[in-house]
Structure 1
Amino acid sequence: MSSAMINAGLEEVLIHTGQHFDHEMSQVFFDELNIPSPKYNLDVSGGSHAQMTGRMLGAIESKIIEESPDCVLVYGDTNSTLSGSLAAAKLHIPVVHMEAGIRSFNKKMPEEINRVITDHLSSLLLCPSDTAVTNLKNEGIQNGVINVGDIMMDAAKKANKIVSSGEGFLPKIEGFDFSAQFDLLTLHRAENTDDRQRMENILRGLESTERAILFPIHPRTRKKIDELNLTIPNKVKICEPLSYLSMSAVLSRCVKVITDSGGLQKEAYWAKKPCITLRDETEWVETLEEGANCLVGAEADNISDALNSKNEIIFSDNLYGDGKSAPSSVEKIINFFS
């Protein structure tokens, strides 16, 4: 979006809340994708959801007052998204929500609460799919709703072009052979990591695989595994979090993806990899309809069956757009506020 805004002659003031403070999970995105550094870094991290949201709300409000923007653009469904939209709405500044209309219909997810509130505060709702548009219509939101495709596809295409240019983006992980078949695992949602039974079931389900499994581990997940004293299957190789480009390189080499992440479900599809989702529902229902994704929850037998199944999948090149969401979104923003 930053480059698209610059190309359109718009001024962008980027605020980084600091919600994800690990270098490999935050700053590296700016470095690798050549995104301009944020003007403000609020360094708000740690604490409960309410504590983080409260601190962000006050800090963002002061920056909005200082900058006096024509609109505030928020992305996704994080606490940063909620705080930014609340601060702007209370100051009567129009809110633009990128990735609007996504629903899991699971109110136990903090992200679901964040996205629903943000959508109802927004003036312009930029959706990644027709399903998202329909979700908003069902909630009585129709004005300012536009399907622009998924902004993450823009980033994924850019990353794939970069990593396909050479071998240097694969991480160096001692004892792991990238030339052999392997699967990619990520696991970070509290509904899984905070539940001993779910974690034990997931790990037991992974034991049946004949392939190695690479597990770039979230710091919070590592802490929970240690606290619960869980045993990691022999086939699972834990490594530190990977940068965006390294993750893209690994994704291009793996056989299957096992995840509870929302974004990685889509990235797996774009990389033409079958996805096994460790959740009971997904926002990205199109991947299910295409047969490229399956919901296994935390059931060991379901995980085992999915790992060992043979998948014949025809992947579409334009699921969630054409990879040009950013310029389309900027055009819609300009037209909306003209």
Structure 2
Amino acid sequence: MSNQSSMKTPGNDLGPVICVVGARPNFMKMAPILRAMAAHVPPLPVLLVHTGQHYDKDMSDRLFEDLRLPRPDVNLEVGSGTHAIQTAEVMRRFEPIVDTYKPSCVAVVGDVNSTLACSLVAVKKGVPVVHIEAGLRSYDRAMPEEINRILTDQISDRLYTTERTAEENLRLEGIPSSRVCFAGNVMIDSVVFGRSNARSAAETLKVCNADASVLSHPLGYGVVTLHRPSNVDHPETLRALLGVLGEVAARLPLVFALHPRTRSNIERFGLMDLIDPTRMVLLPPQGYLEMLGLMSGATVVLTDSGGLQEETTALGVPCLTLRENTERPITVEQGTNILVGRDRQAILGAVQEILAGNGKRGRVPEFWDGHAAERIAADLYQWLMSGKPQAALKSSTP
């Protein structure tokens, strides 16, 4: 069934808002936006385009079900490839969609290759670009996501931020405040929406035929995810991280949801013997509700995921980020997150503090309240109706 809805009001005939999803984090961010656009009075017409950048069919299907995300109107089925090939293929397949549906704007979320690729197509065809989760910066240009973020923000006409410091980042890059709206964090909308339906950790381990005895440890259990190339693509780096995780597991049992890339590299580098199955339970990739349940009950989460940094802050669960930087500094400044990098002493010291009851408590940041998508839908409607997108296009015409 199509997600498009007609919106005919006196003097108004908007084309659809093309909403783009491409990889797992996009699904969590777009689901509440689509609900908010449908609930807005009048509703905003939507065309949901899945680029197929996230190519695991089973995982994609589970995410759509867990988040009650409507099925895409269009699936470009791009699949995997190098950054250049994937970006180019998304652009090639997305351009005819823009030509056919004549959207009022193209809305993109986050920082994956699909985000930049679809934004480039839109701006080159004179279609306004709306970037949700704008202004986040790690200041590490070795990260492909950082390049995607910077370039997408530069060509966007309306930018929605998750935290107030993001607007300062944009200002320093020459983007006027008139194009920016602080709306809050739509990722947290999904946490609030899904928490009551989250799968219990015990149920998840049972379904996976995993040893659930780790859940009865007096200190609880930790959750681990690793997927970034800088952590998992180099044998010595991955060996060192698994060694530290083994030391953590000697104190606190760990549940390790293995990304396919990570599992493949552990096997390829011959590192499986570093994992003690009695202390570290390995799971296949988990659905959104399963991960939400695992994190909700955890003593600590160790991760290199940007999204999990935000989710643990919203849940009030201590998070140790196995990276040297973060594009989500508010999770460190106000939330439960600590940057520990790959430093053995920093990781073990932080775990010890948490187990001693001295873990970072933090607080939930402003507008991380489950209503960010509603604010975005209301502002986007007013912005589209005001004629500002057309004015922005005219001002940028040579």
- Bin the TM-score by the shorter chain: over 0.9
**DSSP 3-state at the match of 1:307:** helix
**DSSP 3-state at the match of 2:159:** strand
Question: Which residue of 2 is the match for residue 12 of structure 1?
Answer: 46
What do the CA deviations read for 1:244-288 (whole angstroms, capped 9, x no partner)? Answer: 001111111111000000000111111111111010001111121
Change (3 A) 1:109 1:25: farther
1:199 to 225, 235, 238: 238
C-alpha contact (below 8 Å) 1:148/1:321 kept by paired residues: no
Question: Which residue of 1 is the match for residue 5 of structure 2?
Answer: none
Question: Which residue of 1 is the match for residue 188 of structure 2?
Answer: 153
C-alpha contact (below 8 Å) 1:57/1:87 kept by paired residues: yes
Distance, in Å, in 1 between the alignment partners of 2:377 and 2:145 is 25
Question: Which residue of 1 is the match for residue 389 of structure 2?
Answer: none
Change (3 A) 1:163 1:102: same
User: C-alpha displacement at 1:319, in angstroms?
Assistant: 4.4
Q: Which has a greater percent of helix? A: 2
Identity %: 36
Question: Which residue of 1 is the match for residue 100 of structure 2?
Answer: 66
2:179 to 121, 134, 144: 144
For the pair 1:292 / 2:328, whether they are aligned, the reply is: no
Question: Which residue of 2 is the match for residue 228 of structure 1?
Answer: 269
Question: Which residue of 1 is the match for residue 61 of structure 2?
Answer: 27
What do the CA deviations read for 1:75-119 (whole angstroms, capped 9, x no partner)? Answer: 100001011101101111000000000100000101000011000
Q: Which amino acid aligns with 2:270?
A: N
Q: Which amino acid aligns with 1:6?
A: A
Please, what is the CA RMSD of the aligned residues? 1.7
**DSSP 3-state at the match of 1:161:** helix
Distance, in Å, in 2 between the alignment partners of 1:136 and 1:154 is 24
Question: Which residue of 1 is the match for residue 155 of structure 2?
Answer: 121
1:185 to 224, 247, 262: 224
User: C-alpha displacement at 1:24, in angstroms?
Assistant: 5.2
Distance, in Å, in 2 between the alignment partners of 1:318 and 1:161 is 21
C-alpha contact (below 8 Å) 2:135/2:170 kept by paired residues: yes
Change (3 A) 1:53 1:265: same
Distance, in Å, in 1 between the alignment partners of 2:290 and 2:58 is 10
Q: Which amino acid aligns with 2:38?
A: I
Structure 1 segments (4+ residues) deviating >6 Å: none
Q: What is the total number of aligned residue pairs between the two structures? A: 337
1:3 to 19, 32, 35: 35
Question: Which residue of 2 is the match for residue 245 of structure 1?
Answer: 289
Distance, in Å, in 2 between the alignment partners of 1:24 and 1:267 is 23
C-alpha contact (below 8 Å) 2:201/2:297 kept by paired residues: no
What do the CA deviations read for 1:180-220 (whole angstroms, capped 9, x no partner)? Answer: 31100000001111122221221121122211111111111
Q: Structure 1: any 5+ residue segments left out of the alignment?
A: none
Question: Which residue of 1 is the match for residue 26 of structure 2?
Answer: none
Q: Structure 2: any 5+ residue segments left out of the alignment?
A: 1-32, 386-398
User: C-alpha displacement at 1:242, in angstroms?
Assistant: 0.7
Distance, in Å, in 1 between the alignment partners of 2:59 and 2:148 is 20
Distance, in Å, in 2 between the alignment partners of 1:170 and 1:215 is 12
- TM-score, L = length of structure 1: 0.95
C-alpha contact (below 8 Å) 1:18/1:41 kept by paired residues: yes
- TM-score, L = length of structure 2: 0.81
What do the CA deviations read for 1:101-144 (whole angstroms, capped 9, x no partner)? Answer: 01000001010000110000100000000011111011111231
Change (3 A) 1:179 1:320: farther
Distance, in Å, in 2 between the alignment partners of 1:169 and 1:318 is 31
C-alpha contact (below 8 Å) 1:150/1:325 kept by paired residues: yes
